[in-house]
Structure 1
């Protein structure tokens, strides 16, 4: 059913805002700006990976875990790029938004050939800060290769 009027414009604006948010967020992570990436989460933001086996809570923990992963990749001579697609964004009555997308991680050995490292589904609860900027309050990433 096609959307019309103000609701359509609001939905399109929300989709565009969240899409741009993810582009900035993933580029910060892939460029090694791990503190900046962690700032895209709420102060008490939660990141749950692999069905709950890996979990980070709070910006300091998020920054530390992403910096550690980045260092391990650098030591191996591998660069990761995150590619998000098939994004859906649903506004929630409390002003937050539920976002879901497929997230592919491409691994490229320096001087080598890119290869698909991981295929996942990313599900977020996004909230706005006092300045109206989107932040991740809760992220659940599920790998396609794990049950």
Structure 2
């Protein structure tokens, strides 16, 4: 297989892209529990857009649920757009992935607008054959 970068082959890179694609569809579609389960059971989501880190499956589920409900109450559909994914192997069971994340809101029957443009920096671990996010750190471009 062709090596992409630092021990990450094309098949592994495709798995990580699938993880990010699935994550985006889950949170945007209101599947909060399934989105939370893309993190490790003790996973963390850290973002300056929110007052404190969100930790653990139950809190991650509640966070994703609020995200979806808030958009719906505003009469909007929100979409996560992940691009420019760069993956490096830390060790056999750990990866570091960095990517750009845009959140786009579209008012029902109206225009789309960019809510925010961020960079995500993820530590992923392999558990029981699946890659899961252990810690996501979000950095806003205006920071």
TM-score of the superposed pair, with normalisation by structure 1: 0.89
More strand by share: 2
Q: Any conservation in 2 of the 1:45–1:138 contact (CA below 8 Å)?
A: yes
Distance 2:102 2:20 in 1: 13
- 1:120 corresponds in structure 2 to 118
More helix by share: 1
- What RMSD over aligned residues (CA atoms) do the two structures have, in Å? 1.8
Distance 1:45 1:32 in 2: 19
- 1:41 corresponds in structure 2 to 39
Aligned partner of 2:140 among 117, 126, 143 = 143
TM-score of the superposed pair, with normalisation by structure 2: 0.91
Q: Any conservation in 1 of the 2:29–2:68 contact (CA below 8 Å)?
A: no
Judged with a 3 Å threshold, the aligned counterparts in structure 2 of structure 1 residues 82 and 51 are, in CA distance, closer, same or farther, namely closer
User: What secondary structure sits across from 1:45 in the alignment?
Assistant: strand
Judged with a 3 Å threshold, the aligned counterparts in structure 2 of structure 1 residues 120 and 10 are, in CA distance, closer, same or farther, namely closer
- Mark the runs of 5 or more structure 2 residues left unpaired by the alignment: none
Distance 2:25 2:70 in 1: 18
- 1:110 corresponds in structure 2 to 108
Aligned partner of 1:98 among 96, 99, 107 = 96
Equivalent residues, number: 141
Equivalent residues in 2 for 1:22-101, closer than 5 Å:
22-50=20-48, 53-101=51-99
Distance 1:50 1:97 in 2: 23
Give the superposition deviation at 1:63.
0.4
Q: Any conservation in 2 of the 1:14–1:89 contact (CA below 8 Å)?
A: no
- Mark the runs of 5 or more structure 1 residues left unpaired by the alignment: none
- 4+ residue segments displaced more than 2 Å: 5-10, 51-54
